[in-house]
Amino acid sequence: MSILVDQHTRLVVQGLTGREGGFHAGQMAAYGTKIVAGVTPGRGGELGLDGTVPVFDTVREAVEKTAANTSCIFVPAAGAADAIAEAAASGIKTIFCITEGIPVHDMVGALAVVQQHGARLIGPNCPGATTPGLNGLGAKIGIIPASIHLPGDVGVVSRSGTLTYEAVQSMTDAGIGQSTCLGIGGDPIIGTTFRDALELFAADPATRALVLIGEIGGSAEEEAAAWAGEHLKHLPRVAFIAGRAAPEGRRMGHAGAIVSGASGRAIDKIAALEAAGFKVAASPTELPRLLIEAGYTKR
């Protein structure tokens, strides 16, 4: 079992014919993801991914012809919000947006369309998700390196791409595998929150422990902690919060990683997580050890 991405995923890549979209689509396909279509306006009728994937002018046509159910967006920031809205309006139910730098005003409108059509958006400015598997039975969407993963039963959710990679590699090196690794994105407005992700993992019977990687800014970690304290008492859970030494009022890395007054401070996030039963690491490399201390046992 897993969340959001698996062998039933039928992926359309919006921006398949671009450099980034084409490169990462190749990596996704090599890992086992079923890429059934690409979309680039004006390039309909071509074949992408070394002649193996049909390209369409619109997402709606791609859905009608290939039964695509998931989208991954590699569209430049100026058009990415429209790409998100198009995917949702065309019947795609799970949308990953890798693009960063989308204006906040544009995202407000795009997210409203996503919600109107009952779709789920992951991102923007996210690395995607991976459900590890062996011998081509895994699936990944986005830009997370395939080589760091090990199939297992620990769910990982993070705001940061590079910190995710470090944490997952540390887990894999310790022989601790992942059920699904999910990056939700670091922008101020995103489609799927920490709490949303924890709810998905809680409903997955194959996920036996959780890793949460947060950072300064906003209150998403505290909101997730409050929910977890009530609903995840049965699962070992650990966390790491980046930005402990960040000066107040300065953005650190992500657009959403900014402390304003007493809001979004690392110390408050850590306190909320610990109160909810999370063991909080001082470094991502400590997460495997803390998982064991929290009661996780490797199978």
User: Which residues belong to the active site?
Assistant: 254
CA distance 78 to 46: 24
Please give the C-alpha separations between residue 14 and each of 78, 137, 194, 198, 208, in angstroms, as whole numbers: 14, 23, 25, 27, 34
Task: Output the CA angle 226-117-140, nearest 5 degrees.
Answer: 70
Distance from the first to the final alpha carbon of the chain: 15
Q: Which amino acid is at 281?
A: A
Separation of CA 74 from chain center? 14
Give residue for tokens 């791409």: 161
| Closest to 190 measured CA to CA, from 124, 126, 141, 142 | 124
| Both tokens assigned to 40 | 């680039």
Give the residue among 139, 171, 142 at the shortest CA–CA distance from 154. 171
Query: CA-to-CA distance for 12 and 65, rounded, in angstroms?
Result: 11
Would the CA dihedral through 99, 100, 102, 104 be positive or negative? positive
- Dihedral (C-alpha) 177, 183, 184, 188: value to the nearest 10 degrees? 140
Q: Do 217 and 162 contact (CB within 8 A), yes or no? A: no
Which residues on adjacent β-strands are paired with residue 141?
129
Q: Is the separation of the CB atoms in 156 and 213 below 8 Å?
A: yes
